Amino acid sequence: MFSASLGAFVAPRIAKRAAIIGLAGFAAFASAPAKADLFSDLFGSFDNGYSSRGASLSRHGYSRRADLAGGYTPRADYSSYDRGGNVLDYYEQVRSANVTRRTVAIDGYCASACTMKLGARHACVSPEATLRFHSARTNEGEASWGGNTIMMSVYPPAIQAWVRRHQALDSLAFTDMSGREAIGLGIRACA
């Protein structure tokens, strides 16, 4: 689940954030080579209860193998109804969209980990879209500090501020943001 390439990308950033807020033990862990078992033991899988693993390749219109080999064609990924899923899967989708310079268009219902798509460099949102935020969960259904940390690291600064102001990741209950609000916070409107 926690691939080496994702670990190499995520670990230094999490370690830096952890060091900034004084979590030396976590910083040391995040700087170490990625180990799926240890990571999962500490943070769970950050799943919101829906699995996106099987659908992630075809639903997003690209092949990860071709993406990693550099054989990609930039195009838009559209989300019209996305209930979310595993935080690490969505982190990888945003990273891949940034590498391939694809537009990530949110047009409709986007809940849970789907909101991480707002962090794509070329994200756009429809004014009529509904974005639903809540805390990441462990496999046991409890709030996941680690999952929330990863989600916050992906959001642009204005979205991070909105999430903090509305305490949108503090509970498992949904906190809604309209597409118009997201546009007002600096996310590009989809044409």
Secondary structure element (H or E) that encloses residue 13, with its range? helix 4-20
CA–CA–CA angle 101, 102, 104 (5° rounding):
130
Indicate the pLDDT class of residue 7, thresholds 50, 70 and 90: low
What is the average per-residue pLDDT within 167-190?
97
User: What is the per-residue burial (b if ≥16 Cβ within 10 Å, else e) of 56-65?
Assistant: beeebebebe
**Residue 12 CA, distance from chain mean position:** 17
Give the helix/strand (H/E) hosting 130: strand 130-133
Using 50, 70 and 90 to split pLDDT, how confident is the model at 80? Answer: confident
Q: What percent of the chain has pLDDT over 90?
A: 56
pLDDT given at position 79: 63
Distance from C-alpha of 175 to C-alpha of 163, rounded to nearest angstrom = 9
Tens of pLDDT, residue by residue over 132-157, are 999 999 999 999 999 999 999 999 99
| pLDDT bracket for residue 76 (50, 70, 90) | low
The mean pLDDT of 59-88, rounded to a whole number, is 58
Q: For residue 11, what pLDDT is reported?
A: 53
Q: What is the torsional sign of CA 133, 57, 86, 122?
A: negative
Give the angle subtended at the CA of 86 by the CAs of 140 and 5, to the nearest 5°: 120
How far apart (Å, rounded) are the C-alpha atoms in residues 124 and 118? 8
pLDDT at 8: 53
Percent of the chain with pLDDT over 70: 59
Q: Is 70 exceeded by the pLDDT of residue 54?
A: no
The larger pLDDT score, comparing residue 47 to residue 113, is at 113
The 10 Å CB-count burial string (b at 16+, else e) for 112-147 is bbbbbbbbbebbbbbeebebbbbbbbbeeeeebebb
Q: Look over the chain and give the mean of its residue pLDDT values, rounded to a whole number.
A: 74
pLDDT at 63 over 50: no
Measured between alpha carbons, how far is 132 from 84 in angstroms, rounded to an integer?
10
Asked whether the predicted pLDDT for residue 70 surpasses 50, the reply is: no
Task: Average the pLDDT over 53-74 and give the result.
Answer: 36
